[in-house]
Amino acid sequence: MSLTANIGVTGVRRFSRLLRVLLLLALLAFILLFTLENQQAVALVFLGFSFPQLPVSVLLLGGLLLGLMVGPAMGMLVVWQRGHKRRRANAK
């Protein structure tokens, strides 16, 4: 007998939702602790541009978010280029 037959589909959905909420709360707690522990202000100079002093946590989390946006965008670009090459090859 499967797990869903024993506790029902509704029970599985509730457990799944509860698990997602708990993981989200753990992630938020980690981010909060990380931010509170990394309040030291640092000055950043990149390619000759000076940025105002910001806490280390802001710079690191900003870099993480930037990477989370750039990574998938680069992946989409590769997929688009492959599709474009296939369409051009099929047109010939």
**Is the pLDDT score of 5 beyond 80?**
no
pLDDT band at 33 (very low <50, low <70, confident <90, very high): very high
pLDDT band at 2 (very low <50, low <70, confident <90, very high): low
CA angle 67, 52, 54 (to 5 degrees): 60
Helix (H, G, I), strand (E, B) or coil at 48: coil
Kindly list the domain boundaries of the chain, sorted by start residue.
Answer: 3-91
Helix (H, G, I), strand (E, B) or coil at 25: helix
pTM of the model: 0.61
Q: Which residues contact 66 (CB under 8 A, 6 or more apart)?
A: none
Q: Are 58 and 76 in contact (CB under 8 A)?
A: no
d(C-alpha 23, C-alpha 16), whole Å: 11
